[in-house]
């Protein structure tokens, strides 16, 4: 009977260790979940907070690009006219 009692004691000890490991794993999963909720919440919160500023600068950038395109459209005919005048003058 000694080996059966020893085996029962080892089994109970293993069960206790495994329950502790499972408990630790559950807490670790919970902590990881909370960690990611905080990280993602911070990212979206920051974006929400700065969205008006981001939108303002995006509009300024789009307006600037539009103005630059119009300037470039106006410069191309001027360059062509300058080349034509140079040909006429003979330079």
Q: What is the pLDDT of residues 37-57, one digit of tens each?
A: 999 999 999 999 999 999 999
pTM: 0.54
Q: How far is CA 38 from the centre of its chain?
A: 14
Total count of residues recorded for the chain? 91
Q: How far is CA 74 from the centre of its chain?
A: 40
Q: What are phi and psi of 90, to 5 degrees?
A: 105, 20
Q: What is the pLDDT of residues 2-39, one digit of tens each?
A: 889 999 999 999 999 999 999 999 999 999 999 999 99
**Cα dihedral 75, 78, 84, 90 sign:** negative
């Amino acid at each position: 009977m000694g080996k059966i009692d020893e085996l029962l004691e080892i089994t109970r000890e293993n069960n206790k260790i495994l329950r502790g490991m499972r408990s630790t794993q559950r807490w670790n999963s919970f902590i990881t979940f909370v960690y990611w909720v905080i990280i993602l919440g911070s990212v979206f919160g920051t974006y929400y907070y700065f969205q008006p500023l981001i939108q303002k600068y995006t509009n300024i950038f789009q307006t600037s690009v539009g103005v630059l395109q119009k300037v470039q459209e106006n410069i191309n005919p001027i360059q062509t006219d300058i080349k034509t005048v140079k040909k006429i003058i003979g330079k």
